Each structure stands twice: as C-alpha cells, then as structure tokens.
Amino acid sequence: MKTARDILVVDDELVITQAVVRVCGAEGMSVDVAESAAAATARLARCTYRLIICDVMMADVDGFQFLADLGRRQVRTPVIMSTGMSTMENAVKALYAGAIDFIPKPFTADELLVAVRRGLHYARLQDAALAASATKRPVSLAYVPCPAKYYRLGYASWVSLEGTGTVLVGVSDLFLKTVDAIQDVRLGAVGEEVVQGSSCATITSTDGLDHGVLCPVSGRIVEVNRGVASTPAVMERDPYFEGWLYRVLPSELQYELQQLSSCSSDRL
Amino acid sequence: MKDRTRVFRVHPDSSRTLGIINPIYNTKSCAQAACHAHPRSQVVLGVLDVTLPLAAVDQDIRQGRIEVGIFAVSAILALSVIIGLFVTRWVAMPVRELVAATRHVAGGDLNYVIPETRDDELGTLARSFNNMTHKLSEARLQLFQSDKLASLGRLAAGVAHEINNPLTGVLTYSSFLLKRTKDQPEVQEDLKVIVRETIRCREIVKSLLDFARQSVPKKGPADVNEIIERAALVTENQLALNHVKLVKALGAEVPLVTVDANQMQQVFINLFVNAADAIGPEALGGTITVTTSHLKLSPVGITQIKKAQCPKRHSLINAEVRIDGKPSIRIKVVSGGNEGFIYRDPMYGQTRHQFGIAPEATKATQVMCPECSASLLVDAASCPDCGSAIFTFEVPGKGMVEGCTNRQCTWQRWAVVDESGEREFVEVRVRDTGSGIAQEELPRIFEPFYSTKGQKGTGLGLAVIWGIIDNHNGTIIVESQVGAGTTFVIRIPVEP
C-alpha cells in the first residue's frame, strides 16, 4: 500500500523546494521534495500524491518531458508547472501539454497557495468525476465540461468563435468549482489589449483569495459582459453562455488556436 | 632631273659627292652659227658633268640633326615636367588621398571622410567612396548589433532564469513572514518594503525575458499608418504633458506589411516616448515628425529563405544551427567516403555557410536530404562560375534555389528573387527636435542596459525595438546631431 501525501515538489533548486515545504507545510499540507525527475519517479513509486509542482528546467529531463512521461505511465496526479523562464509562451505551452496551472517564478507565498489550493480542489473534483464514471453516473454531476466547438486554455478559460470575426472569452465551470464562491470580479475595459497566456481578469473568492484568469486569445476587448460585472454569480450559474467575460477582436486567432485544446475532442 | 643627278662616294670611306650631268643639245644657234657649225643631224653635242663634294653639306645636316634632337628632347622634358606637375596637382594627390582613405577603411576606421571639394570624376569618386564607407559602417553596426544582441539575448534569458530562482526564495519567505507577522506592525512595514522591492525585481527580470524572447512574432497584414495612429493615441497624453507636438506625414500609398501589429505598436510608442524625453520638459515644447513612405531596394542579400524542402517534401530548415540568429538550411553531403552536413546561410545572396564536412569537388560528391537521402543534385547542369556540380531545393511557393557544391564557389541562384527586381519596403522616419545623441554614443544606444536617462530608464527600450525590427527582417538606423535632434529610420519589407 502506497503512502498518501499531499504535494510533491520537483525542482533542482533547494531554496524553491524548501520554500514550498515551509509555505504549504504551514497550512498543514504534507509536502515531499524531489530534486530531479528521476527522484520524482522514484517517489511516485512509493507514494501517491494529490498534486505535483514541477519546474520546467531541470538538470536531467525538462518538465514538459516529465509531464509526458507521467501521461504515458497513466499517473493521473494533476501537475502545476513553474519556471524561471516565466513567459506567456511557456504558460500556454505548459497548459497545452496538460499541466493544470502555471506559476511563474518568482512567486509570493499567496500566489503559490492560491494555485496549490485550486490544484487540490481540482484533484478532488477529478477523483469525484472518476468515482462518478465508475458508478456510470454522468460526469456533469461533478462539473459541466465546456461545450463542443469551444476551445480551452488548460482547464481554466475558454474561447468560442462567433461568426462575425469576434470571439467570446469566459471561465470554465471546472475552474469556478476549484475556487470558493465568487465575491467579486475585476474586469478589463473596452479597448484594452489582452494577451494569450497572461492574466485578463481577477476573481476574488469568498475566502479572500485572488485568482488570475489567463486569457485564451490575444486581441482587443470590444465588449465587456455587464451582467457579469454587476452580478458575478452569473458566471457560476451559466459559465459557458450567459457568463462570458469579454467579446474580443482577436489579433492572431489562427495561430493561437493551435495552442488551445478543442473541447470537442474532450468528449470522445 | 632625277636621272641626271647622283650622289656617290668615290671611296667607301670618303664623304659624299654630288654629280650632275647636263647634255648639250644641238640647238638652232649651234647649227647655224658662223664660228664652228655643227652638222644639223647631230642631236647631242656634248655632256657637261659637274661633281660637287657634299662634305660641307653633310656636316651642316649632322649639325642640324643634333640641334633638332636636343631641342626635341628638351621640349619633351619641359612639357613632361609641366604635365607632370599638373597631373600631380589634379590627379595623383586626390588619388593618393583615396588610397590613404582605403588604407584607413581597411584598417577599420569607417568614419574616415575624404573632402568632397571637386566637381569632376574624382569628386564623384570621393563622394561615392564616402557614401560607401558610410553604408559599410551602417552595415557593420547592424551586423555587430545583430550578433551581440543575439548572444546577449541568450545570456539575458539564462541570467533571468538563474536570478528568478533565488528571487523566488526571497519573495516566498518574505511574503510568508508578512503573512505570519500580522500582529507585529513594526516588522510588517519593513517586510512590505522587501516584498515590494522583490516584486520590482521580478518586473525587471520579466522585461528582460520579454526582450530575450526568441519567439517568432505573430504576424499578419497590417497598415503601418494605422499602427502609428494607434501608438500616437496611446502616447497623446504623455506628449501633451511635455508640450510636444506629434506631426504625422503619413504616405497615402503605403502598402500593407506583414508584421506583429502589437510589437510594432510597441516600437512606435517607445520611439515617441524616447523622443519626448529627448526634447525634455525644460525645452518648452518641441516637435516629433513621423513620416511613412514606400521604397524599392534590391532583394539580393536581404531575403531570408525561411522554408526549404527536398523533392520528398522533408524540411531542410534547421533551427539548432543558426546563422546570424536565423535557422540555417541543412543538407547532407557524402564525399570521398565521409559524410556530414552543410548548414547554408538562409540569407539569400550571403555566404556565411557552416561546413561540417569539406566536400571534394568531384563527380562522386553526393548532396542529399538529411531525412530521406533523396539526391538534391541537378544532373543536367553545372555551375556557371566554376563548372562544379550544382544542387537544388524547393522553397514552397517560391520556386527553386540552386547552389554550387564547390566550397570555394559562392554561386547561387533563386530565379524568383533574382527576377523579381527590386524589393519593396515601407520606411518610417521618426524625427525629433530633441537634444540629439553624441556621435560616440550612437553605436551603443541599441545595447541592452545602455541608458542616457539615468535612473529613469531600464536601458531596454531601444534594445527591445531593435529585437522586434530584426524579428521582422527589417532594419533600424539612427541619425543624430547634438542640439538639433535625432531621426530613427525603420525599414520593413512588404513581402515577409
């Protein structure tokens, strides 16, 4: 029987792993440390984890390869990627590769905790979904997946093409389920530029934490959903239709769609 | 008369003698004279033969010859001296200056200028020489920047990554302490400073990473005039605060260019803000003039081969070996029992190839696709320069590029580009009436961290601009005069 632990942090920098141990340990989470992908693999053989935090640049194999290896070995533990090369491209690439979140280094204790809490929520929801499918109940009892023909960045934000050249951008139900009830939403203004992979809205949950929403496309905001701005709960009620955030005039849609996952393929 | 005179020598050693014979004919007066009448039938009565020694005449002739010779020689000498003086004054000295200038330039001093005082061919030569060194120094600066920035970019990315790790330690521990010491207000204040300043470090490193990003810009067709209008709108307030007027002289027939509109907008915003800073608040106003125009230049040497494939459509582009920062074209060569790769310069017309193998210029040399080993050799043709075998690959949609297998030979042909005539560019000039940049600072202004604004700037603005323009296969040059202002000239190719 494998030991059940909360978090495995994989990084070749001792100061990072120790910081994660301190911050998450203070919150009562059990944290293990691996200084390389090989050490992480060895740890995974002995213990099960609810969440893995993994650096992109490591001495032996890079984080993306480690992520792919986990997929091949059918390890279902959600992975949060982190790197000192904190560019939008790396964020988008990590999310496309299957990471559930991306924390750019350097991060504050709060930024780390917010991502970890969401990650643990995600793991719980995933377990619930798994349990539900085992009992042949529909997945949508745990959360509503994004509709077909939508595209998503990681599991957090979605984009839906409108016939008119503009796109709608919103937050997925799964993301909303990983945060506490929404208290407030801070949105950008019409005319502002948004960039794929960088934060375009901040959701404050009732536990006082701020959650950045990474925008799935780049472009200019042409309309902000006033309904959501006045009553953020609309997002929770109907995340994929009424609860959209922005209507965006995309600048590089064709290029950026290649970095997004299609929601249609999720349903196969 | 000729028949009656003769010049002869009595003895081979004696001087010349002139002999004249004159026949005496039987005239009427002779036949009828009373004294000694000659019979009427006789025609010739006698011959008068005179011989004159020519010694004196010969002496005179010799004398004359010598005099003429001496005169001719001295006249030629005098004339040569005069012509020589003129040539020295009007031709040799300027040519010597030119030669001296070429030595200076060869020695690396590209700022050497010859006085352009004359209106003739030599004046034209001096002007074209000065023009050439000027262009050469610009090209060298561009090349130098490109190399330096490419390596600095890699360095910056590496450094950013290295710095972010210890910075994470500082930021997590300090923010963690901040969370845990909520009941100690005196510690809180100090910790807040640490967290705030560490976050400031994070922003600096992030801008460094943005600068170092080697990613391909997300390009699409865009109107440069429109991008400039947008940049103008963004900087409007800041310029108005400094009493700076932005004059837009945007060309009416500027074609669309394929650019990353966001990045280009950043370029113009940076340039406008820089210009406003150069004008300064104490100048009580100034003007930024931005002009756009449509321009045509020869494409050879400035066109990048971005796609290349073998007959079986395997890509030959190799991103690992880069030449001047651009992915090279990799081909496999089997020659004399060895095999290796040649990485060809992707800039068509340039020859900075890298050879992983020295191919022999024999018929047995094979040139092939590294992926499927399909031959790239052209059977029916040979290099028009050196006669060696030639190879070819396809640039999808843009025809075939041919090259020579001989390492020493620089021949290459890309019919589509060669025949396309001049290449079109959009030129943007941003001129300000600011303080100008000193001549000695000009070569350094595109370097990262080089700032003349002291504490105000990060010194990354122009380096970022340079990187963006370079990513668009464009060029940026700067002309400046202290006290008069600065002009930035950006050229972006219309065809990507």
Does residue A144 form part of some domain? no
State which residues form the domain around A233. Answer: 151-267
Residue A40 shares a structural domain with residue A124: yes
Does residue A84 form part of some domain? yes
Residue A160 shares a structural domain with residue A226: yes
What is the pLDDT, as a whole number, of residue A39? Answer: 92
Residue A206 shares a structural domain with residue A166: yes
Q: In whole angstroms, what is the distance from residue B7 CA to residue A51 CA? A: 132
Residue A176 shares a structural domain with residue A217: yes
Q: What is the pTM of this model?
A: 0.54
Answer yes or no: is pLDDT of A44 > 70.
yes
Q: Over the stretch B342-385, which tens digit does the pLDDT of each residue have?
A: 888 888 877 888 887 777 666 678 888 888 888 888 887 888 88
Interior angle at CA B480, CA B479 and CA B486, nearest 5: 95
Last residue in a domain, options A91, A107, A134: A134
The band of B150, judged by pLDDT with boundaries at 50, 70 and 90, is low
The whole-number average pLDDT for the span B128-134 is: 85
What is the pLDDT, as a whole number, of residue B215? Answer: 47
The band of B114, judged by pLDDT with boundaries at 50, 70 and 90, is confident
Q: Is A77 on the interface with B (CB under 8 A)?
A: no
Q: In whole angstroms, what is the distance from residue B315 CA to residue B317 CA? A: 6
Residue A186 shares a structural domain with residue A229: yes
Does residue A224 form part of some domain? yes
> Which amino acid is present at B101?
A
Residue A163 shares a structural domain with residue A223: yes
Please choose, from the candidates A165, A175, A260, the residue with its C-alpha nearest in 3D space to the C-alpha of residue A219: A165
The whole-number average pLDDT for the span B26-32 is: 80
B340: β partners? B333
Identify which of A23, A57, A252 has the shortest CB distance to residue B218.
A252
Please choose, from the candidates B460, B448, B437, the residue with its C-alpha nearest in 3D space to the C-alpha of residue B270: B460
Last residue in a domain, options A76, A106, A134: A134
Residue A102 shares a structural domain with residue A163: no
Q: Between B42 and B460, where is the model more confident?
A: B42
Does residue A143 form part of some domain? no
The band of A7, judged by pLDDT with boundaries at 50, 70 and 90, is very high
Which of A14, A27, A105, A220 should we substitute to test contact with B (largest number of B Cβ atoms within 10 Å)?
Answer: A105
Category of B135 on φ-ψ map: left (φ > 0), alpha (ψ -120 to 50) or beta: alpha
Residue A171 shares a structural domain with residue A112: no
Category of B15 on φ-ψ map: left (φ > 0), alpha (ψ -120 to 50) or beta: beta
The band of B95, judged by pLDDT with boundaries at 50, 70 and 90, is confident
Binding-face residues of B in 139-178 toward A, CB within 8 A: 157, 160-173, 175-176, 178
Altogether, the residues listed in chain A come to a count of 268
Burial class (CB in 10 A: 0-12, 13-18, 19+), B30: middle
Does residue A141 form part of some domain? no
Q: How many domains does chain A have?
A: 2
Last residue in a domain, options A109, A134, A159: A134
Does residue A70 form part of some domain? yes
Identify which of A83, A107, A251 has the shortest CB distance to residue B172.
A107
Model-level ipTM above the cut of 0.90: no
Which of B154, B155, B162, B164 should we substitute to test contact with A (largest number of A Cβ atoms within 10 Å)?
Answer: B164
Q: Over the stretch A190-206, which tens digit does the pLDDT of each residue have?
A: 877 888 888 899 999 98
CATH number at residue A241: 2.40.50.100
Does residue A115 form part of some domain? yes
CATH number at residue A127: 3.40.50.2300
Residue A165 shares a structural domain with residue A125: no
A224: β partners? A246
Q: Over the stretch A208-248, which tens digit does the pLDDT of each residue have?
A: 889 999 999 988 888 999 988 888 888 888 899 989 999 99
Residue A15 shares a structural domain with residue A113: yes
Residue A117 shares a structural domain with residue A177: no
Does residue A89 form part of some domain? yes
Asked if residue A169 lies in contact with residue A159, where contact means CB atoms within 8 angstroms, the answer is: yes
Residues in Cβ contact with B190 at an 8 Å cutoff, skipping those fewer than 6 apart: none
Residue A100 shares a structural domain with residue A47: yes
